[in-house]
Amino acid sequence: MIAEILVLIFMPVFVSFMGLLFMGIQRKITARVQNRIGPPFYQQFIDVMKLFSKRENIGHNWVFDIGPIFAIVGMLTTMLFIPMGGFRLLSMDGDLIVVMYLLVISGLGMALGAGASGNPNAGIGVMRGLTLMMAYEMPFVISVLAVMVYYHTTSLAEIVGMQSGMWALIILPLSALVADMALQAQFGKKPFDQPIAPAEVATGPIVEYGGKYLGMLMVAHSIGMFVEAGLFIDIFLGGGLLFHQPGIIWQVFNFLFWVLLVFALYTLAVLVNAIMPRYRIDQAFVFYWKWPTIIAIIGLAYALGVSVW
Amino acid sequence: MVIDPTLMIGVPLFIAFLIPVSTFINRKFPRYLAGGTILFNLILSMLLLDAALKSPVVSYLGGWKPPFGIVLYAGPLGAMLALLISTVSILTWIYLPEYIEGGDKEKFYMLYLLLTAGATGMVLTGDLFNLFVFTEITAIASFSLLAYSKGKDEKEAMEATIKYMIIGSLSSAFFLIGIALLYSVTGTLNMADLSSRIPHADPRTVAISMMFIITGLGVEAEMFPLNGWTPDAYTGASHPVSAVFAGIVVKAGFYALARVIFSIYASSTGLGIMLVFGIITLIIGESAALRQTDLKRMLAYSSIGQMGLIITAFGMGTQLSLVGGLYALLNHAFAKTLLFMSAGAFILSLGTRNIGALDGMGKKMPVNSILFTIGAFSIMGLPFFGGFISKIVIIYASMDAGYMLIAILILSASVIELVYFLRVVQRIWMREPGDSEVKKASNASIISMMVLAAIVIVMGIYPQAFFRILGPAAGELLKAIGGA
Amino acid sequence: MLEFLNPMLRPEWMISLLFIGALLTYFAGKVSSALRTTFAIIFSVFVAFLVFLSGSRDVLTYWRPSASPMGFRFVLSINALSWFFALMISMVSALTIVYSAGFGKNTEKDNAFYGLNLLLMGAMLGVVFSGDMLSFFIFWEIMTLASYLLTTLAGKRAEKGALNYMIISTAGAYSILIGMTMIYTRFGTLEFSGLASVMGGADPMFLLITLSMLGIGFAVKAALAPFYVWAPPAYSEAPDSFTPVFSGALSKLGPYGFTLFMYGIVGLPALAKMGTFRGISDFGYIIALLGSITAVIATLYAIAQDDIKKLLAYSSISQLGYVMMGIGIGTSIGVAGGLYHALNHAIFKTTLFMGAGVLIYTTGSRKLSDMGGLGTKMPITFLTMLIAIFALAGIPMTGGFGSKWLLYEAAIDKKFVLIAPLAFIASVGAFLYSFRILQSAFLGQLPERLKGAKDPSPLITIPMLFFAGLLVLFGIAPGIPLGIIASVESYLGIPALNVSTYSVYLGANFGAYNAFTVMTVITLALLVALALFFIAKKSRKVGQTDTYMAGEVPEHHVDLYLHYSMNFYRPLERIFAPYLRNRLERLYDAFGSGYELISEGIRRIYTGDVQHYVYYVMVFLAVMILAGWWWL
């Protein structure tokens, strides 16, 4: 019980810390790819600390305040419901569909706050974000459905457990491929960063946020990175479980491997980001509803065929 | 008390000829004389219905027994229709003063009384030749009433009259030929005797006589393709006359048709003809109404459609279908009379029959608009109104008799009907009115329409009262055909 | 304490109270408008209370009319299924009447409005309480008539919508009539209890035809594809204070009809005889598939709407698609999900249409792009609508999630790979259009002319708050509604859902949904976030127009270019535009105008030339005689 509470407290702190660290590293990587020097890897920590300690914060109204608060609430809640590298906080209750909907809270709260700011750029950003969501959800849902159909369960813990022999990535490679494409948009990386597109809509939803608001959003973002990647790992990479023996030491190894996997997934997204231009939002939509969807359908048909016959 | 149905025919006929004379007493006297006579008929027909429900009332003209004498036969059906005729007649009488133009009103009342008497005779007679005579009386009165129009509508009315007369005379000629043929093989014209002798007569002659009679009576019953006169006649006639056509003339004509086919021929071929041509009439009538822009013409086509429905229901020839058909007949008689009356009020105040002119009349003539709406809803078969009950019974009867296609066609036609009536009703209530002044309908006419509306609503929410009469009435027709 | 009401807890009492109330209300309006409104509220709320009190205990009433030609008796009954729907209907209707009283308009049409509303409520209760098909049909028709008349009260703009609604509804009702008479002529009874024992034994072909005939009628009310074309104009053009009932309560009669006939009367074993697909009947599968297709199509239309009522109308169609999907699937989870979603939809869509009414009343426009920034001016309206939108989007914390979750689980459980993705996509689309309402009406810039906007009177806000409260309650304790639904399921002979107050357990193959845990975690997370928020320095509030504009100073046309809500989803609309040009409506229109053309031809039969008429008569006679001659 006490251990669980400790984990409960430790996890969000750790995840936020690692998220910020990863982001710092990624900025460095991107810079290297683009032949720049880039900021130091601890730049994100400096930024967050600076933002939280700002002497003046600018707000608009109470709805505006909801945005960052809900962003954190949504991400924290979701995180607790998914298995994270062997740590199963509340994930016994974690139904994949519940998790997918909990994940939305953050975005919707964010959208509310952004809308309340009254800045048209924020409105455009939210519109793009929602449109993009509709775009990538199509292939993503179909590929996740393939997994659910294949294992005939919707429990995340069950899905993770069933992959102890072989990862779903290997059994259902097409679905995994599509889900990773969707992950690119979930991370908000190019070519799917239309919602924040700094050069077009001045960072979109977060255009009005500064100070502690922005700080909270950065924290939420770093948790979000782990949640999104974690979900992918749980579904396709066996929950990042390398060792199936009991024992705290193995569990720590598992957890470290899981963190490594998150890093790998994120790096992959960042590398793509570094060399890609940005789609227009309607191009992004058409892209997702075309090839990834077709591939996902093939994957689903395969999963269905294997599971039914 | 024994009611003599003879009085219901004799008295109006006699008074009708008295009316031209009575005008010397007072200019207004003819109106009240006619009204009194119809009232007399109304009371008598109520008593007659009461008696007929217990046992049929038979009366012999001049005391001669059949097969030599002329017989009047008032079963539940005939008595009910006599009541219907006098009800519609008295209500139209209340309604009509402001709707007939011209000076010679005594002539109008004479013809009106003649029409009532003739139609009552048609439904009460038990003799085929007598049926012909009364049909002729009714027809001649109808022609003259139709022509009774002065002013700007006169030309139109004349044209309609000529059309009606040509087809009407043709039809009576055919009717007469049919009767003659029948007489040549059976040697009697009494309906009861006929039905017993026909099975032994030459079937081919009988069949051909039936075709002639169907053709002859089908004209009055508005059966397709014999109903060419209908749209023009309804449109050209003055409003009370249109109402009377829908409520009395056509109903009596239809009764004659049904009577002949059921009681005399008891022929399944006849029923088949009714069924097939009924459904065609229904579809054609409703479809033709769909595109009308002339209010009265639309009602005329709707009337054709409704008659088609009634003919179809009778053509199925089961107890239930007859009850449904009779229910539809009553509903149509009252509701369509109501519609013609309220449409008349609209037309009188607007000066045009164009449906487009009705925009926003709900605000200008609210009472009349409500009455029109009630009539329309009842014809459409919406709940709370008589048409709803008749529709359910007819559909049930047709499914019960195994005519699923008929049921579907009836319901499709009903949807078409809904469309064109709702277009008008919505115009009345949902559009904004123009700024022209309108003349309100007179209180008398409103009262008579309200009575009709009340009847239609009672038919919709308390149908048992009507079923009590309609059951025996349908049974009476079916008896001859062996309950098939 | 309330025992004295016991004799009144009977269906005939409730219905006749409402019908009498309808008349009284109408005529009271001739005396005084306050009296009328009071009457309407008292009658409707009292009957709603009676329905609530009566519980799902079985009550049966017979009435055999004398001298009827068909020889039947009318049956009214309360059972688990009808009580569930009656509760939903009476709640929505009564509170909407309270709500409409809040606007305090006193026009001529208001007498008719309240009278018809009570009539409609009575007819809807009549439909669900009917224990035989004839009373079912009669109440069904009264319901259609009352709702049609209520729609026409909106005046000229509702003309086409009302007409289409009535035409399609009537066609649907006639289809029910055919199905009903088919059943009657086959089995000789119209009573549900009698039919339930014999229908199971009927041959599959007969079942298929009758169920399809009945289903067409129900599908019209449920706005299922391809019969939904009447719904967008009718829902959106109906009077603002009637639409909540129209969409919230009346549309539920379609799913009710399906549930009653598919499971209550025909029963699962007999349905299965018609052929099965992965364990569910083909008939159910087709309904479910149509439901999910409807959900997606209507969602795509909803996204493109700027008119708030049109948007909500399409959203209703889409959500009803979900309901039909669940009921069609017909497993324990599916039916539970469908019924629960029906309840949720009744609540949240009523709230949303109520809110839309308030917004339209406040801003004088139905266009979302004419609104903006009202969230802080009208906090109660905003919050209630926000909660309703959360429920619509299926965000956990509200009741809406539970039902959607059940529906997905039902589809995934049966491995329906066509239905499940469609349902998911429609749900994502629901985020889009529901956010459009929030963004355009409540967020963003407040136009100058709406500076004086404020929350409406308590009569309006109390029903909305009540519904929002229910949604939150269901979000914490889904066991309350699902418990009732489980009893409905066992009444229908479907395995009942395993629920406790806070959580739903579907079986080993599913993750659990423990609403209480979710809420606790969210609350904890909220505490953490709030702590973070308040530890940092308090923020200074600045004005709405004090925003980052890349150096530009907004002066003129502030409303116009600072509030981004015109053509909100333009990029998306551009993609879908070629596919969504009201194809189905065009098909119906083409059918309509095609028939008009035919009827124009038929009209020409009556040439007006008497020679033709004589010719017809002669030909008829000749043909008849020839036929007679040949025949004999």
B232, B415, B432 ranked by CB distance to C167: nearest: B415
Write down the pLDDT at residue B104. Answer: 63
Domain boundaries, chain C: 275-537+554-581, 588-631
pLDDT number for residue C441:
85
A positions 7-26 inside 8 Å of C (CB): 12
What is the tens place of the pLDDT at every residue in B419-441? 999 989 988 888 888 777 777 87
Work out whether strand C539-541 and strand A57-59 pair parallel, antiparallel, or are unpaired: parallel
Tell which of B155, B415, B430 to mutate to test the C interface (max C CBs under 10 Å).
B430
Chain A partners (3+ C-beta pairs within 8 A)? C
Cβ within 8 Å of B, C 352-391:
none
Digit-coded pLDDT (tens) for C533-573:
887 777 777 777 677 766 666 665 555 566 777 778 888 88
Residue at B376 is within a domain? yes
Scan for tokens 């009988």, then name that residue. B206
What are the backbone dihedrals phi and psi of residue C200, each rounded to the nearest 5 degrees, phi first? -60, -30
Closest-CA residue in chain B for C69? B320
* Contact (Cβ atoms closer than 8 angstroms) between residue A308 and residue A152: no
Angstroms from A23 CA to nearest CA on chain C: 21
pLDDT of residue C88: 92
What are the chain A neighbours of C438 within 8 Å (beta carbons)? 111-112, 115
**What is the SS3 assignment for B400?**
helix
Please answer yes or no on whether C171 and B422 come within 8 Å at the CB atom.
Answer: no
Quick check: C631 and B414 CB within 8 A?
Answer: no
For residue C577, what are the contacts with CB-CB under 8 A and spacing of at least 6? none
> Residue B47 corresponds to which tokens in the numbers above?
């008593």
CA distance B157 to B150: 9
At A179-222, the pLDDT tens digits run: 988 988 888 888 888 888 777 777 778 887 878 888 888 888 88
Q: Give the confidence band of C525 by pLDDT, cuts at 50, 70, 90.
A: confident
d(CA C48, CA C83): 11
Q: How far is B327 from chain C (nearest CA, A)?
A: 11
- With an 8 Å CB cutoff and a minimum of 3 pairs, decide whether chains C and A touch: yes
Whether C569 has its CB under 8 Å from any CB of chain A: the answer is yes
Q: Is residue B150 part of a domain?
A: no
Task: Give the angle subtended at the CA of C228 by the CAs of C565 and C292, to the nearest 5°.
Answer: 80
**For B404, nearest residue in chain C (alpha carbons):** C178
3-class secondary-structure state, position C132: strand
Q: What pairs with residue A81 in β-bridges?
A: none
Chain B interface disruption, residue of C107, C613, C619, C625, most B CBs within 10 A: C613
Does B6 lie at the interface with C, CB-CB under 8 angstroms?
no
C564 interfacial to chain A (CB closer than 8 Å): yes
Q: How far is B398 from chain C (nearest CA, A)?
A: 9
Least CB-CB distance to C571: which of A80, A118, A131?
Answer: A131
Residue A93 has pLDDT above 80, yes or no: no
Under an 8 A CB cutoff, do A57 and C540 touch?
yes
* Contacts for B13-17: CB closer than 8 Å, 24+ residues apart: B13/B113, B13/B114, B13/B117, B15/B113, B16/B110, B16/B111, B16/B113, B16/B114, B16/B117, B17/B110
Q: Which of C432, C576, C395, C386 is nearest to A133 (CA)?
A: C432
| DSSP code string of C168-200 | HHHHHHHHHHHHHHHHHHHHS--BHHHHHHHHT
The H or E element that residue C542 is part of is none
Rg, C-alpha atoms of chain B = 21
Which residues from chain C sit within 8 angstroms of residue A209, using beta carbons?
none
Residue labelled with tokens 């889009």: C432
The tens digit of pLDDT for each residue in C122-135 reads 999 999 998 888 88
| pLDDT at residue C440 in the model | 85
Contact between chains at C526 and A69 (C-beta distance less than 8 A): yes
Residue in chain A nearest C534 by alpha carbon: A212
Which of the residues C109, C180, C620 would you substitute to probe the B interface, choosing the one with the greatest number of B C-beta atoms within 10 Å? C620
Chains B and C touch (3+ CB pairs under 8 A): yes
Confirm if C143 and C231 have CB atoms less than 8 A apart. no
- Whether residue B247 is contained in a domain is answered as no
The answer to whether the CB of C474 falls within 8 A of the CB of C402 is yes
Q: Which helix (H) or strand (E) holds B144?
A: helix B128-147
Alpha carbon distance A211, A69 (integer Å): 14
Query: Using an 8 Å Cβ cutoff, are C95 and C461 in contact?
Result: no
pLDDT in 10s for each residue of chain B, 484 residues: 567 778 888 888 888 888 888 777 777 788 888 888 888 888 888 888 888 888 878 777 666 665 566 778 888 888 889 899 999 989 988 888 877 766 567 788 888 888 898 998 888 888 888 888 889 889 888 888 888 776 667 788 888 888 888 888 888 899 999 888 888 888 878 777 787 888 888 888 888 888 888 888 888 888 888 888 888 888 888 888 888 888 888 888 899 888 888 888 877 788 888 899 999 999 999 998 888 888 888 999 999 999 999 999 998 888 888 889 999 999 999 999 999 999 988 888 888 888 888 888 888 888 889 999 999 999 998 888 988 989 888 998 888 888 889 999 999 999 999 999 998 998 888 888 877 777 787 888 889 899 999 999 998 888 888 888 888 888 888 876 654 3
B95 close contact with C: CB closer than 8 A: no
- Number of A to C CB contacts under 8 A, please give it: 253
Look at the block and give the residue holding tokens 């479980």. A241
* Chains contacting C (3 or more CB pairs within 8 Å): A, B
Give me the residue from A102, A120, A141 closest to C564, CB to CB.
A120
* The total number of structural domains that make up chain B: 1
Give the distance from residue C218's alpha carbon to the nearest chain A alpha carbon, in angstroms: 31
- Picking from C421, B81, C558, the residue whose alpha carbon sits closest to that of residue A294 is C421
Q: What is the pLDDT of residue C127?
A: 92
Close Cβ partners of C121 (under 8 Å, ≥ 6 residues apart): C18, C44, C47, C89, C90, C93, C94, C97, C245
When comparing pLDDT for A242 and B137, which is higher?
B137
C65 near B CB under 8 A: yes
What pLDDT was estimated at residue B162?
A: 87
Angle at which helices A96-116 and C399-413 cross, to 10°: 140
SS3 content of chain B, % helix, strand, coil (to 5): 80, 5, 15
Helix axes A281-289, A173-187, angle to 10 degrees: 170
Q: What is the pLDDT of residues A25-62, one digit of tens each?
A: 888 888 888 888 888 888 888 888 888 888 777 777 88
Residue B484: the pLDDT is 38
Q: What is the pLDDT of residues C355-406, one digit of tens each?
A: 999 988 888 888 888 887 888 888 899 999 999 999 998 888 888 888 888 8
CA distance C228 to chain B (A): 18
- Name the residue among B211, B415, B416 with its Cβ closest to that of C625: B211
- Give chain C positions within 8 Å (CB) of A133: 428, 431
Question: What are the tens digits of pLDDT across the range C240-290?
Answer: 888 999 988 999 999 999 999 888 888 888 888 877 777 788 888 889 999
Question: Would B62 be classed as within a structural domain?
Answer: no
Interacting residues of C552 by C-beta distance below 8 A, sequence separation 6+: none
Distance from CA of C244 to the nearest CA of A (A): 25
Which chain A residues touch C390 with a CB distance below 8 Å? Answer: 108
Domain of residue B460 covers 267-484
> Which chains neighbour B (Cβ–Cβ under 8 Å, 3 or more pairs)?
C
Does B206 lie at the interface with C, CB-CB under 8 angstroms?
Answer: no
pLDDT at B373: 92
pTM of the entire predicted model: 0.92
**Can you read off the two tokens belonging to residue B183?**
């007489």
